[in-house]
Amino acid sequence: MVDDKRREPRHAAHVMVKLTRQGVTTELLTDDVSFRGAFVRTDAPPRLRQLVKLELDLPNGRPIEAHAMVVHVREPGGDGIPGAGLQFWGQMSAQRDWERFVQDLGAHRGPPSSRKKDKVRRSSQRFRIELPVELGNAAGLTRDVSETGMAIRTDKAIPLGLRLHVQVKTRDGTTLSLEAIVRRAIHDEDFRGIGVEFTDADSSARAALVAAARIADAEEDAIFIDPGDPGLH
């Protein structure tokens, strides 16, 4: 969100939050949310790079507490709703509940006329990420993943059309099990492996894999901050 760069999908959501800055707590409403943060509505936004504390309750009742940094400010009188864009900083409670909440918003929100287009767009999104993969008695490493399949680096010769039980380990240590079929052999100059298509009727594991890849992709743009920087407080 620095310099208003917002590659990560954001979803409209009005959630009441308690925002604490410099010991003063104010109840505000979010305008949109993402895996990495939220935009809160306020006519008196905190200054850029200020650290704040957020508290809110998810629809499932789980409380969320997190620290965040102000990375975007929209002052009153300009275009759009005034407020502040917040990026989570450090550990947050019930992080997986927050990720599921945002993921569900992306899956179920949006006008009916846009749902088919959004589904095509989401399924075509590919995230370059290396994750360990088990292919039966062989091991590999992903090159990229999407909602429909992935490319896997492996030296093992695997025939086209073979159905595989694939286990992918995400960066948080979670193992996701998926069913797939080998659709192509890849023999690029810098990559040798296979392209597989997911065949699971249950899309929850696929969605979890893409969510993990999206989070990892977003972390590549993370802002690294010195906690001792006096400009943060």
What CATH number has the domain bearing residue 164? 2.40.10.220
**Domain termination residue (choose one: 108, 130, 157):** 108
Same domain for 89 and 17: yes
Q: What percent of the chain lies above the pLDDT cut of 70?
A: 80
The answer to whether residues 191 and 140 touch, using CB atoms and an 8 Å cutoff, is no
Same domain for 88 and 19: yes
Model-level pTM? 0.46
Those residues of the chain that have pLDDT short of 70 are 1-7, 108-125, 200-202, 217-233
**Domain termination residue (choose one: 108, 133, 159):** 108
**Domain termination residue (choose one: 47, 78, 108):** 108
In whole angstroms, give the CA distance from residue 18 to residue 227: 22
Within a domain: residue 230? no
Measured from the Cβ of residue 219, the count of other Cβ atoms closer than 10 Å reads 11
pLDDT at 175: 93
pLDDT at 217: 65
Q: How many domains does the structure of the chain reveal?
A: 2
Domain extent, residue 67, equals: 2-108
pLDDT at 129: 87
- φ and ψ at 85, to 5 degrees? -90, 125
Q: What is the pLDDT of residues 112-121, one digit of tens each?
A: 333 444 443 4
Within a domain: residue 201? yes
Same domain for 147 and 78: no
Same domain for 126 and 95: no
213: closest CA among 153, 148, 132, 131?
A: 131
